[in-house]
Amino acid sequence: MATTSAIPASRLHGVEGRPSYVTVGTIVWLSSELMFFATLFAAYFTVRSVVPDLWEQETQAVNFPFAFTNTLILVLSSVTCQLGVNAAARGDVQRLRMWFIISFVMGAIFIGGQAFEYAELLHHGLTLQSSVYGSLFYLATGIHGIHVLGGLIAFLVVIGRTYAARRFTHEQAVTAIVVSYYWHFVDVVWIALFAAIYVIR
């Protein structure tokens, strides 16, 4: 079992006056991911402006209350993830595990909700091939779902490493911080997707 000790903030965020390579690398990578999702948003709104009648018809199939509840679960998982990072900064490995396990469960519930929504939409005839709206809907939400699955795997890696190691190290704390950056990014992207698909319509 890993022992606990507070990790100085200077070690978590790099040497004073010099940026952390891990932090910079993560931000650069997430910036490239942001450009990818920006392309999806551009395609979505471009096609929507060309065939507004199709959008008015197809968006009737989406379930706003269900999607809002699912979104709330994902957003709250970002809060629990940050609480885990705060625990990691204090060297509190027990609370890090607890908050990351809760975040994992909430993320898994979100994915389950997405799968349920897909099943409902398929039942109503909205498929990848049924229309350009269906193609863009499944492409945008599906790619985001893959990113969420990646985050769930990252949570398991962090949790597993805390059990495997004899003591909680600086490297494990940095890994937890990087995972939190990724998870917050995934949540922010979903909020934008939710607004575009379920609110603006």
pLDDT score, position 156: 97
Phi-psi category of residue 196: left, alpha or beta, with phi > 0 → left and psi -120 to 50 → alpha: alpha
Q: What is the pTM of this model?
A: 0.85
If DSSP codes are grouped into helix, strand and coil, which group holds residue 128? Answer: coil
164, with CB counted inside 10 A (0-12, 13-18, 19+), is exposed
User: What are the boundaries of each domain within the chain?
Assistant: 17-200
Contacts of 36 (CB under 8 A, 6+ apart): none
The alpha carbon of residue 147 and the mean position of all alpha carbons in its chain are separated, in whole angstroms, by 6
pLDDT score, position 2: 53
State how far the Cα of 99 lies from the Cα of 86, in Å rounded to an integer.
10
State how far the Cα of 30 lies from the Cα of 182, in Å rounded to an integer.
7
pLDDT by residue for the chain (201 residues), tens only, comes to: 555 455 454 444 444 445 567 677 778 888 888 888 899 899 999 998 998 888 888 888 899 999 999 999 999 999 999 999 999 988 899 999 999 999 999 999 999 999 999 999 999 888 888 889 999 999 999 999 999 999 999 999 999 999 987 888 888 888 899 999 999 999 999 999 999 999 987
Homologous superfamily, domain 17-200: Cytochrome c oxidase, subunit III, four-helix bundle (1.20.120.80)
